[in-house]
Amino acid sequence: MDPRPYSFRTKEEYAFQALRQAILDCTLPPGEKLVIDRLSAKLGLSPIPVRAAVQRLHSEGLVMISPHSSATIAPLPPEKVNEVFVLLESLERTAFRAAADRVSPADLQDLESLLQEMDAAQERPDPDAWLSLNIAFHRKIAAVADMPLLLSFTNRVLDEWERISHYYYANITSKRLPQAQADHRQIVALLRSGDALGLDALAIAHNRAANQAYQAMLTES
């Protein structure tokens, strides 16, 4: 958490974004208590904007607040891996089908660019960069679907996936990445051809294969 609040419109926004990112990358791990005075000192802010930021994080489900006790980072039980992929499958079946009707040449170029960056991250290798790009790829398709509620739900589930990946899989080199990249290329090809049925089937296969692979890695670790 880099204490440079004045690059943001408000101190509260800076505190919110800094704390949110620290939660997503597990610098602030699940279950950790959030002590306002300590966070304020670290961020170089007064307690007021930090307390407001914690309340916003609570509304997103990233922080738990109990009466008469300090706030804590929301837990990440292992069974949440299955929950995330079950939800993503349902959300992406809808998003992929809608995106097939709405995708533009510029959208397809953006997705191709993300794939190229993911290839480069895989080659280096840089799993953190690949994870961020993978999440950006899936967020982009949800945005193309042009359904605000769907995008909001998808973003929340992907936030949980980002936390899970950093918490459980940070030291695991995934054997699944080549297949995941092949799936991503097929997604773009099907979007380009407007094949809604093919995209629906791939949303199911992609998320179920990922769930199985990560469940297996979780067991091994």
Query: Based on the domain organization, do 204 and 96 belong to the same domain?
Result: yes
- The per-residue pLDDT for 173 is 60
Closest by CA position to 16, among listed 76, 75, 58: 58
pTM: 0.87
CATH classification at residue 24 = 1.10.10.10
Q: Tell me: the pLDDT tens digits for 179-215?
A: 899 999 999 999 999 999 999 999 999 999 999 988 9
Query: Based on the domain organization, do 121 and 23 belong to the same domain?
Result: no
CB 176 within 8 A of CB 210: yes
| Number of domains present in the structure of the chain | 2
CB 196 within 8 A of CB 101: yes
- The per-residue pLDDT for 1 is 63
Burial 35-68 (b: 16+ CB within 10 A, else e): ebeebbebbebeeebbbbbbebbeeeebbbeeee
Query: Based on the domain organization, do 66 and 87 belong to the same domain?
Result: no
Residue written as tokens 């280096």? 124
CATH classification at residue 116 = 1.20.120.530
Query: Based on the domain organization, do 49 and 145 belong to the same domain?
Result: no
Q: Which two tokens stand for residue 49?
A: 């904007």
Q: Select from 55, 73, 91 the last residue of a domain.
A: 73
Query: Based on the domain organization, do 196 and 102 belong to the same domain?
Result: yes
Query: Based on the domain organization, do 62 and 93 belong to the same domain?
Result: no
Query: Based on the domain organization, do 91 and 64 belong to the same domain?
Result: no
Query: Based on the domain organization, do 88 and 50 belong to the same domain?
Result: no
Query: Based on the domain organization, do 45 and 150 belong to the same domain?
Result: no
- The per-residue pLDDT for 77 is 93
Q: What domain range includes position 133?
A: 80-220
Query: Based on the domain organization, do 90 and 156 belong to the same domain?
Result: yes
Residue stretches of the chain with pLDDT short of 50: 5
Q: Tell me: the pLDDT tens digits for 42-53?
A: 999 999 999 999
